[in-house]
């Protein structure tokens, strides 16, 4: 009999508790392979495709497009095992496995380099409807075991594969590394990126050549050319560190009311508004009050140049590395317009189709590092800008609210600023205004 496995909405690592179903990528009756994306969801911070860790036939879906589900709620059920699949479909469902019944994998990850695969097949009931009634052949004498098969191959380790990072999962998948064959060097056997890279190096070891390749492994370790996007980022960050005397201040803020305001705005229909868009609107209001931070330093003229428009950059991590797309004239955009522009630029960044104009001319940067599951950071200013606001994950924490201890949604905000353009009082005033708007969105209305 087939085994029906239930796949639940995983914790997407952002400190949030729910996600909205944007688009189903499979239907009931479809055959899915291990790690195939099955649904596109949107959290308060990102839109991601969620892959299923089981291979088999989809027997049920839970939730409609536009519906919000809590983390841990069922997404789909999958009938696994070759006997549950229609003729010829078992190979498709097990194309990424080893031929065994698939097992749940820890972690999640999406491969945006290729579209989700869909294959329509006959309903599951047609594949398992009536048993075959033909008489069984008479049993034949069991042959003697072949000597060549005597040494049994080591069995794959039981239970989940100890992998947490989606980047590690994708690196192994793209390189053809079987994670079940690796022994992790992390705590309790956790498979780390270094373990996968070592396996890839062993698989791709080049034949001896007269001259070493640029990235050849020497006695000093692997040499990777610092060029392209990685080289450009390194040069920009090094210049920022060498030229800008930066300082950082930070504060924890109660984001409960901001999250409630977003939920209320999205409940009335129309385009969805992201948390990033609300934070961007708060930033532009704070920069209008503290214009010193929307400036740059002209070293040749020995002048501080205050800029009339806010061209808001936001940090976006892609497969090629970190990029900072720029939203032009952000001070004149409402939350709906900001949400749409963030979504457009993010899609271009992920597909590698950003134009040079999309990556230049920024005057202030909003860095949402909470998507990586971290609370705080001291980011490097995006030269030649004068400041950057960092936003950590929004997570439930104990908080004193109206004189009582309560569980609230708390976020850490950090501001790294060029100490040449302003002193700590101005930087602290800006950050406090941002925090006040996060804690009480009504403050933002008063500042407009």
Q: Which residues are catalytic?
A: 419
Q: How far apart are CA 339 and CA 45, in angstroms?
A: 11
Q: How far apart are CA 174 and CA 85, in angstroms?
A: 26
Q: Apex CA 128: angle with CA 124 and CA 133, to 5°?
A: 160
CB neighbour list of residue 58: distance below 8 Å, 6 or more residues apart: 26, 27, 28, 29, 30, 31, 32, 38, 76, 77, 78
Helix axes 166-175 and 193-203, enclosed angle (nearest 10): 10
């Amino acid at each position: 009999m087939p085994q029906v496995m239930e796949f639940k909405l995983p914790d997407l690592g952002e400190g949030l508790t729910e996600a909205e179903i944007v688009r189903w990528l499979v239907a009931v009756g479809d055959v899915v392979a291990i790690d195939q994306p099955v649904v596109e969801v949107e959290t308060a911070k990102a839109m991601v495709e969620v892959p299923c860790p089981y291979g088999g036939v989809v027997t049920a879906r839970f939730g409609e497009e536009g519906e919000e589900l809590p983390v841990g709620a069922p997404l789909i059920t999958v009938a696994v095992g070759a006997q549950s699949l229609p003729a010829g479909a078992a190979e498709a469902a097990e194309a990424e496995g080893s031929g065994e019944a698939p097992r749940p994998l820890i972690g999640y990850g999406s491969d945006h380099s290729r579209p989700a695969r869909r294959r329509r097949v006959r309903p599951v009931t047609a594949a398992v409807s009536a048993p075959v009634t033909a008489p069984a052949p008479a049993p034949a004498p069991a042959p003697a075991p072949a000597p060549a098969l005597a040494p049994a191959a080591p069995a794959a380790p039981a239970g989940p594969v100890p992998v947490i990072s989606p980047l590690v999962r994708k690196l192994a998948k793209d390189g053809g590394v079987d994670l079940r064959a690796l022994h992790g060097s992390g705590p309790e056997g956790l498979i780390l990126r270094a373990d996968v890279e070592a396996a890839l190096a062993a698989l791709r070891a080049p034949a001896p050549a007269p001259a070493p390749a640029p990235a050849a492994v020497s006695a000093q370790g692997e040499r990777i050319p610092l060029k392209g996007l990685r080289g450009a980022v390194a040069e920009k960050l090094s210049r920022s560190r060498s030229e800008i005397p930066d300082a950082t201040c930070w504060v924890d803020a109660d984001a409960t009311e901001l999250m409630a305001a977003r939920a209320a705005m999205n409940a009335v229909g129309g385009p969805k508004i992201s948390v990033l868009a609300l934070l961007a609107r708060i930033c532009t209001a704070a920069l209008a009050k503290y214009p010193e931070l929307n400036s740059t330093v002209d070293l040749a003229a020995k002048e501080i140049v205050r800029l009339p428009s806010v061209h808001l950059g936001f940090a976006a991590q892609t497969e090629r590395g970190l990029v900072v797309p720029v939203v032009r004239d952000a001070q004149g955009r409402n939350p709906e317009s900001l949400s749409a522009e963030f979504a457009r630029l993010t899609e271009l960044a992920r597909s590698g189709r950003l134009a040079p104009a999309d990556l230049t001319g920024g005057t202030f940067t909003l860095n949402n590092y909470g998507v990586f599951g971290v609370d705080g950071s001291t980011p490097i200013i995006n030269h030649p800008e004068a400041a950057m606001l960092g936003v950590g994950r929004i997570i439930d924490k104990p908080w004193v609210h109206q004189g009582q201890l309560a569980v609230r949604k708390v976020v850490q905000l950090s501001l790294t600023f060029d100490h040449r353009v302003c002193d700590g009082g101005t930087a602290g005033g800006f950050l406090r205004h941002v925090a006040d708007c996060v804690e009480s969105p009504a403050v933002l209305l008063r500042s407009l």
